Amino acid sequence: MTDVLVCIKRVPGASGEVLLSDDGQRVDARHVGWTLSAHEECAIELATQVAGATGGTATVLTVGSADAIEQLRDALALGCDRAVLVEAETDRFGPVDVAAAIAEVVRAHEAAGTSYGLVLLGNDAADTGDFQVPVRLAYALARPVVTGIATCTVEGDLVVAHGDGPDGPETFELPVPAVVAVMEGGVAPRYPSVMGRMKAKKVAIEQVAAEIEPVGSGRVRLTLPPEQPSQVQVLGQGADAAPAVVDLLEELGMVSR
């Protein structure tokens, strides 16, 4: 039996134009709403698969404000059994603080009788691009960690993780308990059913306060890359444009005379 903890983050939804807050510290979500990152949707799917295959449970956790309960219930609707909200001022919390807050919960649950053989996280944050939390969490818990993973299973006392490396597919074997950072693409996240959403509404969410003094992110500000200029060239109309199209294709090396 493997009990799995999957950690998620409330992030702004995707949009055609990314806006930043006035101080450049976060993505402005006023026009796009909130969601989960694609990495974490895959982590949730893997958590439910591993828990189901081993007869364990899947617990979802987030560090943030009460608004993030919405995302916790989304994960419950997708098959997680329990949910934990670590209440914290996210603007004051950097990756080291988030990792410390998660580690606190893992230790508290272990003392109460629930030991997580596998902790899953998204490979990086969809809003700030932080890649630090999985490694910092593993260090805080003194557990092995692997990042950039597409799929994983628990086989006896080993976590078997698969990912794509620079030279092709890679397989890692880690002793349980372990921490794994998941990238999107390895599994297809499921859609919540009506029954799943109804059950999720009835689940009592554990709420705890983060008992740490945050050190912050150390971030100066986020920046956006400059917009790439686009140009449009009208080659002509109707049959009169044919010679110009041929010239363009020849210039691009797609045809030769």
pLDDT digits (tens, 9 = 90+) for 18-64: 666 666 666 666 656 778 889 999 999 999 999 999 999 999 999 99
Residue 106 lies in a domain: yes
DSSP state letter for 189: P
Residue 233 lies in a domain: no
Residue 99 lies in a domain: yes
Residue 44 lies in a domain: yes
Residue 218 lies in a domain: no
Residue 180 backbone dihedrals phi, psi, to 5 degrees: -130, 130
Which residues are CB-contacts of 31 (< 8 A; sequence separation ≥ 6)?
15, 19
Residue 104 lies in a domain: yes
- Count structural domains, the chain: 1
What is the residue range of 10's domain?
Answer: 3-209
Residue 13 lies in a domain: yes
pTM: 0.80
For residue range 180-219, list pLDDT tens digits in order: 999 999 999 988 888 999 999 999 999 999 888 877 666 6
Which residues are CB-contacts of 38 (< 8 A; sequence separation ≥ 6)?
126, 184, 189
CATH number at residue 45: 3.40.50.620
Give the pLDDT score at 87: 94
**Closest to 102 measured CA to CA, from 203, 11, 189, 5:** 5
Residue 177 lies in a domain: yes
Q: What is the mean pLDDT of residues 142-166?
A: 95
Residue 157 backbone dihedrals phi, psi, to 5 degrees: -100, 15
Give the pLDDT score at 257: 64
Identify each DSSP E strand in 21-140 by its residue range: 34-35, 58-64, 82-87, 116-122
